[in-house]
Amino acid sequence: MGIVNVTPDSFSDSGKFFDTEMAVAQGEKLVADGADIIDIGGESTRPFSDSVTVDEEVRRVVPVIEKLAKHVSIPISIDTMKAGVARRAIEAGASIINDVSALRFDPELAGVAVEFGTPTILMHMLGNPKTMQVSPVYDDLLADISDFLADAIDRSEKHGISKSKIIIDPGIGFGKTVEHNLLLIKHLQFFQSLDAPILIGASRKSFLRKILKDEHLDDILPDLPIVEAGSQAAVAAAVLNGAHIVRVHDVAKTAPTVKILDAMINAQGTLNDTL
């Protein structure tokens, strides 16, 4: 899943694709680079970010989706927590809803998913973007997040969303410390019991930058080569531990990584004493 942030305040690209034409060009590049899904978002969900109105979010994403849908053959997902945005995006050509609130913030969003029959991504987040990184604490990290996602699946099914259309996301960076994020990727197989495809979005996240930066620096730029190298390490670990979809900024570098990982996972044959 390749990311296109149509926002002026994205943590990863500093608003580089806020212009419609630039966003469309980036989406087309991600497809050419090997993306299987394009994820379009018009509201930043970085830590401490402010929300935007439905009208503003629609103004940002719908022109991009309309133009991309005419030129690409892969699915487009709309990264939104708002029913009004999701509806307009689907009418414009999107076919997946990616909701970081797991249908908690807008009671109408599930109805849109049911009406259009769209696959829906349910993500774990502690609190909301404004508060999620204020001293996040868990009684039992894996169990707490698994219980949250199980409840989200149950809630979705009660609204009429088919289980076969649900994708889960443990929410790397959304109310987690560095250690929490590392443990989630390390123990990703824990979530296989929920019997749903797993999406992981670790690309360029702050936990990687905190590990990679020099001790005297507060942070490093998300698009530095060293951060992309760290992102590829996180992608590799996630795929080997059971991720079905990886949400990334640099598809060109990720596509060959995933191709090699898939070859390893699907390798056939038996080992013998000479190996």
Q: What is the mean pLDDT of residues 99-123?
A: 97
pLDDT given for residue 274 in this prediction: 53
CA distance 176 to 3: 21
User: Is 269 within a domain?
Assistant: no
Given the residues 87, 204, 205, 209, the one annotated as active site: 205
Clarify whether 163 is annotated catalytic: no
CA distance 234 to 223: 15
User: Is 53 within a domain?
Assistant: yes
pLDDT band at 9 (very low <50, low <70, confident <90, very high): low
User: Is 274 within a domain?
Assistant: no
Which CATH number do you get for residue 238? 3.20.20.20
Domain holding 53, by residue range, is: 2-264
pLDDT given for residue 10 in this prediction: 62
Scanning the structure block, which residue is given the tokens 């970085």?
Answer: 46
Statement: residue 112 has pLDDT above 80: yes
User: Is 16 within a domain?
Assistant: yes
CA angle 212, 22, 233 (to 5 degrees): 25
Strand, coil or helix: what is 28? Answer: helix
Alpha-helix runs per DSSP H in the chain:
20-33, 54-69, 83-92, 109-116, 141-159, 178-186, 206-212, 225-240, 251-265
User: Is 47 within a domain?
Assistant: yes
Statement: residue 60 has pLDDT above 60: yes
Domain count, the chain: 1
CA distance 167 to 154: 13
Strand, coil or helix: what is 188? Answer: helix
User: Is 188 within a domain?
Assistant: yes
Taking only the tens place, the pLDDT of each residue in 192-244 is 999 999 999 999 999 999 999 998 998 999 999 999 999 999 999 999 999 99
User: Is 270 within a domain?
Assistant: no
Clarify whether 155 is annotated catalytic: no
User: Is 273 within a domain?
Assistant: no
Given the residues 176, 247, 253, 259, the one annotated as active site: 247
